[in-house]
Copies of this chain bind each other. A is one copy, B any other.
Amino acid sequence: MGLLVQKFGGTAVGDPDRIRSVAEHVSRTVRHGNQVVLVVSAMGKETDSLLRLAEDVSSTRPGREMDMLITAGERKAMALMCMALHDLDLPADSFTGSQAGFVTDGEHQNARILEVRPDRVQAALDTGRIPVVGGSQGVSTDHNVTFLGRGGSDTTAVALAHALGADACELYTDVTGVFTTDPRVVPTAKRIDRISFDELLEMTATGCPKPAMRSVEYARTHGVRLHVRSAFTWQEGTWVDEEEPDMEQAIISAVTHDTSEAKMTISGVPDQPGIAARVFRELAEAGINVDMIVQNVSTEGVTDISFTVPHEYLDRAMSTGGSLSTEIGATGVVSDDAIAKVSVIGAGMRTNPGVAATMFETLADCGVNIQMISTSAIRVSCVVSEDRAEEAVTALHESFGLSGD
């Protein structure tokens, strides 16, 4: 029927039983007439164990060696997976990122894919063998082993599916698909059967943890159909694909929330051309990832610039912001780390005005104060107090009609 790239995450290959169970699923997929390429992550919590081991040994932990260490995890998982397939009379060959042709830049622990040359993977397929590729791995142009970062196996799978011209990329995880909101917060959250790349990308950017945002970006750019599904129930999950313009859109597809960021405000900033550019250039040069940025119109020649940063960057951002504030003649810098970003996402909002208004009304009705607002064509995000976040999510999920029966 087709060529499928199937990616299995850490819990899906967490122990020998799980590995054999995945092999049986692959066997079923092959019996249905498909060709399969597997991508596997390290078993269970192995990557965490390797990181702890490195911390026990060294305080410096150079990136090249961290990548050499961490990639041992997928190496084990992929070799064991091949053995389990072999037991079922399915000949299989494991390939490291390097062997599978993943050429990356040299940014250790967070390498970017430059090119995928899957010649050996294709050759294995052509001789009826099942290639099993180590996720999140590559080799730099100067021949060093690289790691694509946590969650990089999703990206490996999508990039490989694109390079091989696969019919779909199946991401097997410990949830049954993409949900209308976090089911741990809202028990009536429903699994979404089908969603567009744009919507899923906005969701992963605003707090939906799986699949990894980078892999969704890659899939969207290259038009790789994704199927996000469970490695424990094997039931159909969520298909991710191009938007079909003639389809009737749900106005809102999902509500997300993210409590991993803090808010910073630089107050009394002189409203002159180039000031904002200078602020965010200096923060970027200090290695700080800035997310949501809001600047309001100025009053009496001064304005406030607010933005959010991940919690772990807050100290550094405050220190950079403090000296910057003096230099540009601002009046001060304040921060708040007890915030949450709550977002509603839906391709249908392009043609349905009033989504933002509904969102603000819903939050007002339950007495949740909005601290910052930011929008895109298919998303509205509000920063609210962290302790009101779950209440806000529940109310929005209900008011946009997403709850199941």
- Known A64-B93, A94-B65, A94-B68: A53·B76 in contact at CB below 8 Å: yes
Residue A122 CB within 8 A of the other chain: no
Residue A166 CB within 8 A of the other chain: no
Complex A-B: 28 CB contacts under 8 Å: A16-B53, A16-B56, A19-B57, A53-B80, A54-B79, A54-B80, A58-B84, A59-B87, A60-B83, A60-B86, A60-B87, A61-B83, A62-B82, A62-B83, A62-B86, A64-B82, A65-B82, A65-B93, A65-B94, A68-B79, A69-B75, A69-B79, A69-B80, A71-B75, A72-B72, A72-B75, A72-B76, A75-B75
Within residues 72 to 114 of chain A, which ones have a CB less than 8 A from any CB in chain B? 72-73, 75-76, 78-80, 82-84, 86-87, 92-94, 96, 99
> Which residues from B are CB-within-8-Å of A83?
54, 57-58, 60-62, 65-66, 69
Residue of B nearest to A73 (CB): B72
> Which residues from B are CB-within-8-Å of A379?
none
> Which residues from B are CB-within-8-Å of A62?
82-83, 86
Q: Give the size category of A's interface with B.
A: 35 or more
* Number of copies of this protein chain within its complex: 2
Looking at chain A's contact residues, the main secondary structure is: helix
Q: Roughly how many angstroms separate A216 CA and B143 CA in the complex, as a whole number?
A: 33
Q: In the complex, how many angstroms separate the beta carbon of A95 from the nearest chain B beta carbon?
A: 9
Q: Roughly how many angstroms separate A182 CA and B79 CA in the complex, as a whole number?
A: 39
Residue A50 CB within 8 A of the other chain: yes
Task: Decide if A87 touches B75 in the complex (CB within 8 Å).
Answer: no
Q: Of B58, B60, B69, B78, which one neighbours A68 at CB under 8 angstroms?
A: B78
Residue of B nearest to A67 (CB): B79
Q: In the complex, how many angstroms separate the beta carbon of A99 from the nearest chain B beta carbon?
A: 7
> Which residues from B are CB-within-8-Å of A57?
16, 19-20, 80, 83-84
Q: Roughly how many angstroms separate A61 CA and B86 CA in the complex, as a whole number?
A: 8
> Which residues from B are CB-within-8-Å of A80?
53-54, 57-58, 65, 69
Q: In the complex, how many angstroms separate the beta carbon of A110 from the nearest chain B beta carbon?
A: 17
- Provide the A123-150 mask, 1 if CB < 8 A to any CB of B, else 0: 0000000000000000000010100000
Q: Roughly how many angstroms separate A334 CA and B388 CA in the complex, as a whole number?
A: 84
Residue of B nearest to A55 (CB): B16
Task: Decide if A76 touches B69 in the complex (CB within 8 Å).
Answer: yes
Task: Decide if B53 touches A65 in the complex (CB within 8 Å).
Answer: no
> Which residues from B are CB-within-8-Å of A56?
16
Q: In the complex, how many angstroms separate the beta carbon of A400 from the nearest chain B beta carbon?
A: 46
Q: Roughly how many angstroms separate A54 CA and B62 CA in the complex, as a whole number?
A: 31
Q: Of B68, B72, B86, B120, which one neighbours A65 at CB under 8 angstroms?
A: B86
Q: Roughly how many angstroms separate A295 CA and B142 CA in the complex, as a whole number?
A: 60
